[in-house]
Each structure stands twice: as C-alpha cells, then as structure tokens.
C-alpha cells in the first residue's frame, strides 16, 4: 500500500502532470460504451478537455482504434454484434500498442456476459474499472451485487483487485465511497466524490471513459493514469456535492467542476490516502 506521505505526494505530482497533458493534448478517446452512458460520458470527456468518439460499428471501430489515443470498452448494453466489434477493436488496439480500458458492467449477471468478459480479458486491457461487486466476481469470489448495482464495500474487493492485477498484468480500479487502485504491487486509496454520484445514471461509465483519456497521455503508466482520473473525479464530485440540491443540479455542477479544475488541484486538494 502506498501509504507514506512522500509516496502519495509524488503520485499526486505525477497525476497533475497527466492532467496538464490531457488539457494540452486533447486526446482522442474511442468509446464502445452503452446507450445509457454515451451522452454523459462524452460530456465528461469534453469537460476535461479530451475528445470523445463513440465509434462502435464493426465496419469501422477496429480501424478507428489505430488512430485513437485510447479505447474504452463498456459492456453495459451488450449484444452479439457489439461484442464482435469490441473483440476486434480491443485486438486492433493491442496490436497497435494503444491502451484500452475495460468496464465489465454486471459481467456476473448472465452467462453471455461472463463469456464476453472472459474473451475480452484475454486481449490484455491496460486498466479494468469496476465497482466492488464486479471486481469480487471477476476474481471468482461471491459478491452480493445485483445487476449493475454494487452491494459490496470497496474494502472487501481489495484482495480481489490485487489478484486480478497480478494474474492479468493490468491495473484494477475499484470505485465506491473510497476508491482503490492497484497494479498488483503498488496500491492507493482515493477519497472524495459525493453520495449523489450513484443517483446520476452513467457516472461510473463516464469515469471509465475519463480513465481512457488519462491512459492516452500516460506513456505506458496505466497505474498513474487511473489514479489521476479517479482523483479528478473525486475532487470535482466533492465540490459539486457541496453545492448541489439533488442529483439534477449535481450533474451539471459536476461537469462544471471538471471543467474548472485548476492546474494544481491534484496536489493542493490531493485525495490520495
């Protein structure tokens, strides 16, 4: 666990550098995501300064992946044609050396989803972002999740996250009240956010898209990319939650909060623990 102040301070500075790179470079993020999240995920990427592309058709998605900065695959509204496109696109990104991020939404709910995630994991995602129930189930444990909802605490998923990261040589980000990021050796917890976040649809999916934006500029450091994205989300969410009257006002305040993050926000308000 990266629990020393010096380690976390260095990680916060590295995260801040990636934040500046996203603002400067406006990375192109290809999102094969679900119908529910497309609009909000695109707006989150735009608020951060990245460039979203919701390109998912089998006829063009694998080719498009070769010009993207990162690819994000979210199985929320999975279908057989989308799965074919996801597999081809993930493979194209892998062969081109482009990082891709997996969001295994409710992968434990049906046999179709379980098989889809098994096949996608074989294509080596750089980062996996999920809630605690999804991560516990992905490691072969028994979760209490129901559908897309997390019924388990993040702390209960930490061992599962480390096991997945080590087995698949990937970074795992578990999100909830206090987030947890690990690459199997290093780990850090991230605070912040708001209790209103789960009451705004597609918030988690949008976070996965933002992880993709940071992965695009991370130059082979997916661990710091995940930490930076979750830190931005946590800071903006905490600011928005302090002012919001409910989930409706939270949603627009959150987008404004992402857009208003200052250059030194990730060090001055570091949520790393």
Binding-site positions for ATP read: 129, 175
CB burial of residue 235 (10 Å; 0-12, 13-18, 19+): buried
> Residues near 82 by Cβ (< 8 Å), separated by ≥ 6?
32, 56
Binding residues for substrate, by number, are: 54, 202
Please state, in angstroms and rounded to a whole number, the distance separating the CA atoms of residues 68 and 46: 15
Q: Which residues partner with 173 through β-bridges?
A: 129, 181
Binding residues, by number, are: 54, 129, 175, 202
Strands 171-175 and 127-131: parallel
Please say whether the beta carbons of 62 and 104 come within 8 A.
Answer: no
Q: DSSP assignment of 84-122, as one string? A: HHHHHHHHHHHHHT--EEEE-TTTTSSHHHHHHHHHHHT
Please state, in angstroms and rounded to a whole number, the distance separating the CA atoms of residues 149 and 134: 9
Tokens at 131, concatenated:
């809630």
- The CB density around residue 244, as the number of other CB atoms within 10 Å, is 19
């Amino acid at each position: 666990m990266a629990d020393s102040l010096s380690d976390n301070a260095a990680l916060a500075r590295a995260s801040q550098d990636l934040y500046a790179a996203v603002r400067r470079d406006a990375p192109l993020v290809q999102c094969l995501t679900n119908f529910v999240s497309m609009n909000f995920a695109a707006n989150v990427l735009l608020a951060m300064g990245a460039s979203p592309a919701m390109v998912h058709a089998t006829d063009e998605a694998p080719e498009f992946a070769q010009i993207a900065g990162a690819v994000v695959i979210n199985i929320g509204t999975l279908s057989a044609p989308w799965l074919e496109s996801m597999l081809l696109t993930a493979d194209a990104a892998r062969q081109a050396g482009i990082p891709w991020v997996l969001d295994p939404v409710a992968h434990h709910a049906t046999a179709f989803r379980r098989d889809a995630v098994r096949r996608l994991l074989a294509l080596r995602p750089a980062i996996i972002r999920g809630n605690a129930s999804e991560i516990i189930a992905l490691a072969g444990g028994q979760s209490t999740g129901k559908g897309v909802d997390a019924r388990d605490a993040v702390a209960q998923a930490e061992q599962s996250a480390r096991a997945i990261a080590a087995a698949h040589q990937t970074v795992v980000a578990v999100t909830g009240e206090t987030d947890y990021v690990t690459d199997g050796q290093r780990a850090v917890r991230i605070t912040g956010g708001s209790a209103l976040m789960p009451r705004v649809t597609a918030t988690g999916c949008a976070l996965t898209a933002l992880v993709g934006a940071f992965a695009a500029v991370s130059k082979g450091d997916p661990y710091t990319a995940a930490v930076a994205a979750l830190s931005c989300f946590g800071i903006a969410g905490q600011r928005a939650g302090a002012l919001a009257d409910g989930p409706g006002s939270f949603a627009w305040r959150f987008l404004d909060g992402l857009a208003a993050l200052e250059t030194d926000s990730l060090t001055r308000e570091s949520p790393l623990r």
